[in-house]
Amino acid sequence: MLKLVVLRHAESEWNPVGRYQGLLDPDLTDRGRRQAELLGEALREEGIGVLYSSPLKRTYETARIVASTLGLEVVKEDRVIEIDHGVWSGLLVEEVKERFADDFALWLEEPHRVEFPEGENLAKVYDRVKNFVEDIKIKHEGETVAVVSHTVPIRCMYCALLDVELSKFWSFGCDNASISRVLIEEDRAIIQSLNITCHLGELYVEAHKAL
């Protein structure tokens, strides 16, 4: 059995304006750094032994701030990096809606059918995060493990853990600096808490529905 604590990175400079990030690498905002501090405080009693993070700045800095509170090192993990949004990367939601209207509508309604031009699709992200989960199940049996990642790999991870279709991708909330807890047993996974943000207080900001 493994307890997996899933953390979305704190607010980046592009989150408030609704800009697709993908593999591009904006920093955290000042509010994001404070969110990360509150995230670390909220996890003090969690018993986390290992902290993995996507290598991008917004995730790694979140993880580093959390790790400093918990007395841990951060392990960089490429398999939980954000989806490559391809030509959408760096564009505002409204720009994507205007320039790629059909794909944007499909992204909101049937995300598993979208292939980002010059980028990835959900199936590719699903495969790499599933591989990550299978790996840590063996490596960290009986431990509590945390991972700091992004909206797309986190939602794909839930689909993989629950063995549900990627068409259910949008069924899982994923706000900045949120905490989710999954108990992974040999033959099933149980989501014990999902997208918890109460530790953020007035620093909570709802995620953009298209991101």
Q: Give how far Cα 148 sits from Cα of 10, 17, 99, 104, 110, Å.
A: 9, 22, 31, 26, 26
What band does 196 get if pLDDT is binned at 50, 70 and 90? very high
Chain segment 110-130, per-residue pLDDT in tens: 999 999 999 999 999 999 999
Beta strands, E only, the chain:
2-8, 50-53, 74-76, 144-149, 179-184, 189-196
Determine the pLDDT at residue 29: 98
- The whole model's pTM is what? 0.98
Q: Are 172 and 161 in contact (CB under 8 A)?
A: no
Chain segment 37-72, per-residue pLDDT in tens: 999 999 999 999 999 999 999 999 999 999 999 999
Look over the chain and give the mean of its residue pLDDT values, rounded to a whole number.
97
Task: Identify the structural domains of the chain with CATH numbers, from first to last.
Answer: 2-203 (3.40.50.1240)
Q: For 168, how many CA atoms within 13 A lie in the half-sphere containing its CB? A: 10
Q: Give how far Cα 21 sits from Cα of 12, 28, 80, 90, Å.
A: 9, 12, 15, 6
Q: Are 143 and 158 in contact (CB under 8 A)?
A: no
Determine the pLDDT at residue 173: 97
List, edge to edge, every strand of the sheet that includes 179-184. 74-76, 50-53, 144-149, 2-8, 179-184, 189-196
Question: CA-to-CA distance for 19 and 45, rounded, in angstroms?
Answer: 35
Question: CA-to-CA distance for 24 and 158, rounded, in angstroms?
Answer: 24
Backbone φ and ψ of 37, nearest 5°: -65, -45
Question: CA-to-CA distance for 85 and 44, rounded, in angstroms?
Answer: 34
Told to judge if 150 belongs to the known catalytic residues of this protein, a careful annotator would answer yes
pLDDT above 90: percentage of residues in the chain: 99
Determine the pLDDT at residue 101: 97
Mean pLDDT for the stretch of residues 17-24:
97
Determine the pLDDT at residue 61: 98
What band does 35 get if pLDDT is binned at 50, 70 and 90? very high
Could you count the other beta carbons within 10 Å of the beta carbon of residue 72? 18
Residue from 9, 85, 199, 208 carrying the catalytic annotation: 9
Told to judge if 112 belongs to the known catalytic residues of this protein, a careful annotator would answer no
CA-wise closest residue to 54 among 152, 139, 140:
152
Residue that is written with structure tokens 């945390």 in the block: 146
The answer to whether the Cα torsion of 81, 178, 45, 144 is positive or negative is negative
Residue from 112, 150, 199, 208 carrying the catalytic annotation: 150
pLDDT above 70: percentage of residues in the chain: 100
Chain segment 84-94, per-residue pLDDT in tens: 999 999 999 99
Determine the pLDDT at residue 139: 97
Q: Are 176 and 148 in contact (CB under 8 A)?
A: no
